[in-house]
Structure 1
Amino acid sequence: MTDPEVNEKRAIRADVRQRRQAQGAIGASQAGEGISLQIQELLTQTDARRVACYLSSEFEPNTRHFLKWALEHEVDVLLPITRDDGLLDWTLSDGVSERTHQWGFPEAVGEILGPIAINRVDLLLVPAAAVAHDGTRLGWGRGFYDKTLGSMEQRPPIWAIVHDDEFVPSLPSEIHDMPVDGVITPTRVIPLPLTEDH
Structure 2
Amino acid sequence: MTDDVSHDKRALRAELRERRRICTAKEREESEAGVTANLIELATRLESKSVAAYLSTTDEPQTRGFLRWACEHDISVLLPISRADGLLDWAPYDGEEEDNDLIGMPAPTSEVLGPIAINDVDLIIVPAASVDRTGMRMGWGRGYFDKTLGSMETKPPIYAVIFESEFVDAVPTEIHDQPVNGIVTPSGIVTITEHN
So what's the TM-score if we normalise by structure 1? 0.93
For the pair 1:156 / 2:156, whether they are aligned, the reply is yes
CA distance in 1, matches of 2:111, 2:102: 19
* SS of residue in 1 equivalent to 2:27: helix
- Residue 87 (structure 1) shift: 1.1
Q: After the TM superposition, which segments of 4 or more aligned residues of structure 1 sit over 4 Å from their partners?
A: none
1:1-198 equivalences in 2 (<5 Å): 1-193=1-193
Root mean square deviation, CA, Å: 1.5
Question: Where does the alignment leave 5 or more consecutive residues of structure 1 unmatched?
Answer: none
CA distance in 1, matches of 2:10, 2:151: 25
Residues 1:112 and 1:104: Cα distance change in structure 2 (over 3 Å):
closer
Count of matched residue pairs = 194
* SS of residue in 1 equivalent to 2:177: coil
> Letter of the aligned partner of 1:32 in structure 2?
E
Question: Where does the alignment leave 5 or more consecutive residues of structure 2 unmatched?
Answer: none
CA deviation string 1:78-114 (max 9, x = no partner): 1001112211111111112111234332122111121
Contact residue 133 and residue 193 of structure 1 kept, 8 A? no
> Letter of the aligned partner of 2:139 in structure 1?
G
**More divergent stretch after superposition (64-73 vs 132-141):** 64-73
- Residue 169 (structure 1) shift: 0.8
CA deviation string 1:48-81 (max 9, x = no partner): 1211100001121111111111122222111001
CA distance in 1, matches of 2:18, 2:150: 30
Contact residue 2 and residue 174 of structure 2 kept, 8 A? no
* SS of residue in 2 equivalent to 1:23: coil
CA distance in 2, matches of 1:134, 1:168: 9
- Residue 130 (structure 1) shift: 0.4
CA distance in 1, matches of 2:130, 2:136: 8
> Letter of the aligned partner of 1:96 in structure 2?
E
Identity %: 49
Contact residue 122 and residue 156 of structure 1 kept, 8 A? yes
Contact residue 91 and residue 110 of structure 1 kept, 8 A? yes
Contact residue 183 and residue 189 of structure 1 kept, 8 A? yes
CA distance in 1, matches of 2:139, 2:64: 20
Residues 1:26 and 1:104: Cα distance change in structure 2 (over 3 Å):
farther
* SS of residue in 1 equivalent to 2:186: coil
CA deviation string 1:5-49 (max 9, x = no partner): 211111111111111111133322321211111111111221112
CA deviation string 1:118-161 (max 9, x = no partner): 01101000000000000110001100001111111111111101
